[in-house]
Structures are given as structure tokens and as C-alpha cells.
Amino acid sequence: MAEKIDWSKYVQEQDTALTTEVEKIDIKEEKKKDEPNKESAADEASPAEVSLLTKIIRKGLVSNKNDLEIQRQNPNSPLHSVKTFEALNLNPNLLKGIYDMGFNAPSKIQETALPTLLAVPSQNLIAQSQSGTGKTAAFVLAMLSKVDSTKKYPQVLCLSPTYELAIQTGEVAAHMAKFCPEIEMKYAVRGEEVPRGSKLTEHIIIGTPGKVMDWALKFRVFDLKKIIVFVLDEADVMIAQQGHQDQCIRIHKELGPACQMMFFSATYENDVMEFAQAIVKNPIIIRLKREEESLDNIQQYYVMCPTQDHKYKALTNIYGTVGVGQAIIFCHTRKTANWLAEKMSRDGHAVAVLTGDLTVEQRINVLDRFRGGQEKVLITTNVLSRGIDIEQVTIVVNFDLPVDQNGRADCDTYLHRIGRTGRFGKHGIAINLIDSSTKHICKSIEEHFNRKINFLNAEDCDEIEKIAA
């Protein structure tokens, strides 16, 4: 018999252990033989790292008023939506758990996804929307609702691509099931083992593909044919990791024909959708349309700086004059980011630095401190160019303009970078520090977006004050 555990206590222990255990995990892509020196190379992140950082930074639900795009096999069949959690006729203790988590009303994606997920007979679903819009809470609520606690065997299986992402889902499940002690859950992740010849009695398994394959197909500690709900989370990350796609398909083949499929992804790329439709039969597809990055409420400027020291002087002049809430400064390499962070710290500025050479534990700590306002300036690389929504960020500085591998303007990254300010309809400021060799990059960006990037004299305090007026 599998040993019983206190799930809430277990999650707390796992969350604490995360700060020490994740250092042992390498979720970066393999180093290429011809990879240049990391100090001088552009700093990038793997899909798994980006997804984890996005989840951490978006712990609170991000309000999104964008429209839903819905596809279904029979367009004439009614598709219900709800405006309150009470309308779902949930287990009262589950409803209590939802409110205890601070959810007052369903988010945009939850309004339509939850009635579909909870419908009888079961309906398969593919849902795509950005992190922070309520995807995890939606499928966790469905997982918990579908369990028959009188049956002592696994009925729900949720796959995540990495240990850390599985822990994130487990935390949501534990908090939501806070008042439902009869529902038992277990992680199938690195470090967890079950006695040979035993059978799992927990109702919900949350884990990674490799461990789940071992337990289900190699050691037979639970029966995939008895799974009634199969959740594939972070599918875009899943297919980006070598081997995970094959593992998911092997697990899927062992599931019963009546098993309900719930597929969740943050991206819209064709390869993700093809993978989803290969796994999910006759799905209802719900897409929360992307929040369009807009430059309309962002003032853009450039400052001519012949050397790196001139860039630093301009930066300190701007920061000392403009009333800044919080600022993000983007550098091209780790070397520049670390140099800048050290120089600003020496001059008495409260700064944090986030680059690809930090461990996952360190990155989580940096993000939590910045979100909490303990540091006002975050110096980072392209590791954090997407997905961060912090209302207090009022200024973004491109210490280095983003360029692609061929040295041309990377307009997509530029848009994501400066889109970190001007969030939630507020006005933001973006400042680009350039020299004669990068002036053409700035011009290319200006032409691409058809938006004027105005010259700023960073030595004129009166002029700097005007941009913040």
C-alpha cells in the first residue's frame, strides 16, 4: 500500500525544498559545441525556464478583457458560460477553497472553459491563453470536481514538463482542496518513489512524463485505463523538450477511450496545435486572444552615448531626475548586466540582477523581491523580455538595443521589452542608449513600428523632467 500523506503539509515541504533542490536540476538546453563564451554571448532562456519565470511573476490573476475565439465540431450546439462560481454547482467545500484563494469571479478563460470541463457527458478541451489568465485554476478545479473519493485508486493524471512546473500546479491543487481532506493527491516527480508491488490509492497524480511512465508502465503501481481525466499542461514547453512529446503519446495510448482530455498551452504556434489535435479527439478549442502589445501609450526616446561610461552617466541622470516607480534595464549580455549592477550598487542604488547564470532558486528570489518593491531597479537580459506584468514599472531602458544573430534590429524583442512598461493602460517611458554604431538599429526600429523615437539630451535636467510630466 502506498503510504498516506498530508497533501497540504507535503506541498509546503516541497515548496520549501524547492529553494534547495532545484539547484540540482539543469533545465537549460544542451550546450552547443561551437557556442561562444557565455560572458559575451546573448543571454537567452529555455522554454521551461521562461514558463516557470512567467508563472512566478504572475502569481496574481492578470485581468484580461480580450475576446475568446471558440471552435467546436458543431457550431450550432450551445456553449455555456458562467459569471459566478456558484453557477457551476460545485462541491461547497471546493467553492470555499476557491474563495479562500482570493478568486471572486471567473476570469475570461474560466467563464467558458469551466462549464465545458464540468459538463456531463465529458467534453474534450484545448485551451490556449497566457500565463496569469486563470488556466491552471480552471483545470485544477475540474480535476478536483471529477474525483470520486470513495474509489481508492488514481482517477486523474496531470502532466507537466518539469519538476518545478509540477510543483506549481500541485500548490494550486492543494490550496483549492484545502477544505476537501477526502481528496488525496500524489506527486510523480524526481525524488518520489513507491514500493515495488504496491498500488497507489491517491485520487490525483501530478507529475512529469518520465516518472509517470515508470510508475504506470514499468512498475504498474496504477492503471492508466482507470484514469478518467488526463490533463496536459504547458504543452508548448512539453513539445520543446526532447523526448517529452514521445512520452506523452505513449502515456496517452494507454488511456481508456472515455477518458476526458484537457490540453493547455500558452502559445498559438502550429506545431503546438498539431500536437494537441493528435492527442485530443473532437475537442472544443478555446483561445484567449493575445493581449496586443501596444506602443500607443509609451513615450520612446534615444540618447547618444559614445561609450559605456557615457551610457552609465546618462542612466544615472535620468534615474535621478525622473520620478521612477520601478525600472527594468535590458542588457545584451550577462557581462554587461553584472557590470552595470555592480556599478549602480556601489553608487547606492537598490538594484537586482537577473541573468541566465543564476539558479532557478536565485531567479525566484530576485523576482519575488522586485515584485514586492524591495528593489526598484531590475537589470536583466532577454531572459525576461516577455511575460512580466508589474503595474509599478514606469520606465524601461535598453542599455543595449536588441539585435538578432545577424546584427539586425530585433523588432519583436524590442516590442516585448518596452511593453513591460505602459501596462494596464498607464503611460510608460522607454529610453534607448545608443552610439554611432547602433544608430541605424534605432532607425530600423522606428521605421518598423512607424513610431517616432525622439532625441533626449540626458545632460539637460530640464528636458528630462519634461518627459515625466
pLDDT tens column, 176-229: 999 999 999 999 998 899 998 999 999 999 999 999 999 999 999 999 999 999
**Ranges assigned E (strand) in 140-227:** 156-159, 185-188, 204-207
What is the count of structural domains for the chain? Answer: 2
| pTM, two decimal places | 0.64
CATH number, domain containing residue 380? 3.40.50.300
Q: Is 215 a member of any domain?
A: yes
**Distance of alpha carbon 214 from alpha carbon 202, whole angstroms:** 17
**More confident site: 64 or 72:** 72
In a domain, 2, yes or no: no
Weakest mean pLDDT among 216-220, 341-345, 358-362: 358-362
Kindly state whether residues 25 and 133 are assigned to the same domain.
yes
SS3 65: coil
pLDDT of 159 = 96
**Listed residues 255, 270, 288: the one ending a domain:** 288
- Is 222 part of any domain? yes
**382 or 179, higher pLDDT:** 179
Taking residues 107-130, report their average pLDDT.
88
Judged on CB neighbours under 10 Å (0-12, 13-18, 19+), 4 is: exposed
> CA dihedral defined by 71, 78, 147, 208, rounded to 10 degrees?
0
> Are 162 and 223 members of one domain?
yes
Nearest to 86 by CA among 67, 103, 71: 103
- Clarify whether residues 209 and 284 are in a common domain: yes
In a shared domain, residues 334 and 255: no
| 284 and 311 fall within a common domain | no
Q: Do 193 and 262 have their domain in common? A: yes
Q: Is residue 109 part of a domain?
A: yes
pLDDT in tens, 396-448: 899 999 998 888 998 878 887 786 555 444 578 899 999 999 999 999 999 99
Q: Judge if 227 and 102 occupy the same domain.
A: yes
Residue 466: name the closest of 303, 299, 309, 344 by CA: 299
Do 209 and 87 share a structural domain? yes
Looking at the fold, whether 309 and 270 belong to one and the same domain comes out as no
Residues 274 and 143 in one domain: yes
Q: What is the pLDDT of residues 122-176, one digit of tens each?
A: 999 998 876 667 888 999 999 999 999 999 999 999 999 888 788 889 989 999 9
272 and 336, same domain (yes or no): no
Domain assignment of residue 338, yes or no: yes
**Boundary-marking domain end, from 230, 257, 288:** 288
Are both 245 and 115 inside the same structural domain?
A: yes
What cell was used for 427?
503611460
Judge whether 1 lies within some domain: no
| Residue at a domain's end among 228, 253, 288 | 288
Highest mean pLDDT among 16-20, 77-81, 281-285, 409-413: 281-285
Q: Residue 293 domain-assigned?
A: no
Domain with 373 in it: 298-467
User: Does 39 have pLDDT greater than 90?
Assistant: no
Q: Does residue 72 fall inside a structural domain?
A: yes
- The radius of gyration of the chain from alpha carbons, rounded to an integer in Å, stands at 24
pLDDT of residue 128: 84
